Amino acid sequence: MRIDHDVWVRRFVLTIRCPDRTGIVAAVTGFIASHGGWVVEAAQHGDLTTGQFFQRIEVLAESLPFGPEDFGRLFADVASQFELEWHLSDTDVRKRVVVLVSREDHCLADLLHRWRSGDLACEIPAVISNHPDLRQLVEWHGIDFFHVPVMPENKVEAFAKVVSLVDAARADVLVLARYMQVLPADVCARYPGRIINIHHSFLPSFAGARPYRQAFERGVKLIGATCHYVTAALDAGPIIEQDTSRIDHGDSVEDLLRIGRDIERSVLARGLRWHLEDRVLLNGNRTVVFT
């Protein structure tokens, strides 16, 4: 078989988590090889602190004599023997992303550009916002925009509407692209490991309003951002990606805002891409990221 590197090649991506023990790699790769599967990428990690094993394998789809349905049936014996929690995705089936946003547009605009240019391999069927400000930007991209106001007196009804829109869009993942509302615990529990947030994260950390102003007033030398999964514990979910940038005494609040937004855009895009490519595996409140 010859791979043409100038064309898209369909692959199956197998991800695995299980109790660590001898023979897992041999059994999984042996199963693939026994059916003629061509592995084009593989990564693994054994966590000595939790005793868990993690693996990600990409296989050329055309090298196997069966599709995802038969894969599961034939793989069942290996999965049972090693107590595997496993998932197989097809790169020809793009994941569906619903974006939640408020008024700030820098992360949303960046994601829409990356999606439109093909840099992010996904579908974006809908954008939901608690403000109407970004409707024109979203609809210009041919994407449905839903305005769902969230007020103290209507939060239960508002988030019930958000959930109905997310489910109607058949979303695989939700992205909070500077969505300035705290998701209720029941919403977080409904989509475990499927809600991604971008959070301005400073060293030291500044909570509450106007974090860049607080950082400026404290004279920080590093600012940054954190991309993480959302849980009921506010801003405490498993971290996917982080980055920082060095600043100095000559930078103004406006400079910090500009630099911070750049970091937020890039960190969110990387975190989402890795999720879409099944490169992020949950390990308790931590993650294993095969980049």
Q: In angstroms, rounded to a whole number, what is the distance separating the alpha carbons of residues 210 and 254?
A: 12
Hey, which residues does 227 pair with through a beta bridge? 198, 241
Q: In angstroms, rounded to a whole number, what is the distance separating the alpha carbons of residues 46 and 17?
A: 10
CB 56 within 8 A of CB 43: yes
Q: Show Cβ contacts of residue 38 under 8 Å, excluding neighbours closer than 6 positions.
A: 1, 59, 60, 63
Q: Show Cβ contacts of residue 150 under 8 Å, excluding neighbours closer than 6 positions.
A: 130, 158, 159, 181
CB 180 within 8 A of CB 102: yes
Active-site residue, 235 included: yes
In the chain, where do the E strands start and end?
Answer: 11-19, 39-47, 52-60, 85-90, 96-101, 123-129, 144-147, 173-176, 195-200, 222-229, 239-246, 280-283, 286-289
Q: Show Cβ contacts of residue 27 under 8 Å, excluding neighbours closer than 6 positions.
A: 78, 81, 82
Determine phi and psi for 40, rounding to 5 degrees.
-105, -15
Structural Rg of the chain based on CA atoms? 21
Q: In angstroms, rounded to a whole number, what is the distance separating the alpha carbons of residues 216 and 248?
A: 10
The catalytically annotated residue of 47, 90, 105, 235 is 235
Hey, which residues does 127 pair with through a beta bridge? 99, 145
Residues tagged active-site: 235
